[in-house]
Structure 1
């Protein structure tokens, strides 16, 4: 009888983990920086707001794609950063805070990351030394996001022009 009970529990655990949807393992910026110091990897920062329609569409359509999820989780420390969050942040020895402005405010870190051009969603890529590689404003579906991820993760950006890379890109997943 104990074996049947144990078998039932194991089957339930196996089924529940099978039924769980794989997701991007989003981190805080602090977590990503800490992990990066121990095991260097590029950092992907998704700068979004709660009211941004295309941010939600990108979450639903792009960041839920199983191949995008696997590629990001393998090659990047992914961070979600709300461009209007109220919590203070210290990055690279500098303190950033929320600035109240009109109906909505903005976070100084978002403004710094986006060079003052607060456009959502924007994806910011950092190298493994936490230096900005590039900023990518706007929504991208999975098909158009894939070559960007590969271009950054596999260091093509250091040796190839984006247009040449894209023209020759065949897709890897």
Structure 2
């Protein structure tokens, strides 16, 4: 009997240790406050509850150990529902979703004012912000871990500031050697 209990406990410990890595998600307001104490860039995942590619991004990319470890170390990670009803303060403005319908919480809903302000027209979109919470760029669509790695590392190193043409980006892209397992 004791051996069976020990086996169950060991199985549970092993199962818990093999659970996917978690990104330390915070709200946008929290990330902006954290930046004041310890400047880091922000990576914002703008998603909706009904979006299939958003769920794939969560499962396949954000739970990837390499991605989660890198994001947790170098970014404040924000999960933001582009059709949710959360009130957000950004750049001396308050953004909300006055057209939000709770009955549509898991279906298409009205766009949040912040999503509109950030010109987000597709989900998922990952928006990168610098240490002053100024937008670097939105990145539309599903990204695999190696695809996201390029942008995470480029923005972290501020390499994007040296890239001024499509040709320069293509050269950067071609020479980039992803290390994240995908």
Task: Flag the 1:20–1:60 CA change in 2: closer, same or farther, 3 A.
Answer: closer
SS at 1:106 equivalent: coil
* Distance across 2 between alignment mates of 1:128 and 1:44: 11
Contact 2:96 2:114 in 1 (8 A): yes
Aligned residue number for residue 110 of structure 1: 115
* Distance across 1 between alignment mates of 2:44 and 2:85: 18
Structure 1 unpaired stretches of 5+: 1-10
For these two proteins, the number of residue pairs brought into alignment is: 160
Report whether the alignment pairs 1:170 with 2:174.
Answer: no
SS at 2:26 equivalent: coil
Could you tell me how far 1:99 is from its partner in structure 2? 3.6
Aligned residue number for residue 34 of structure 1: 33
- Runs of 4+ aligned residues of structure 1 deviating over 3 Å after TM superposition are 15-21
* 1:64-120 deviation line (CA, Å, top 9, x unaligned): 11101111111110000000111222212101110428962111001111x2x4210
Aligned residue number for residue 44 of structure 1: 43
Structure 2 unpaired stretches of 5+: 1-8, 102-107
CA RMSD of aligned residues (A): 2.2
Q: TM-score, normalised by structure 2?
A: 0.80
Contact 2:127 2:135 in 1 (8 A): yes
* Distance across 1 between alignment mates of 2:18 and 2:139: 33
Instruction: Choose which of 120, 126, 130 in structure 2 pairs with 1:127.
Output: 130
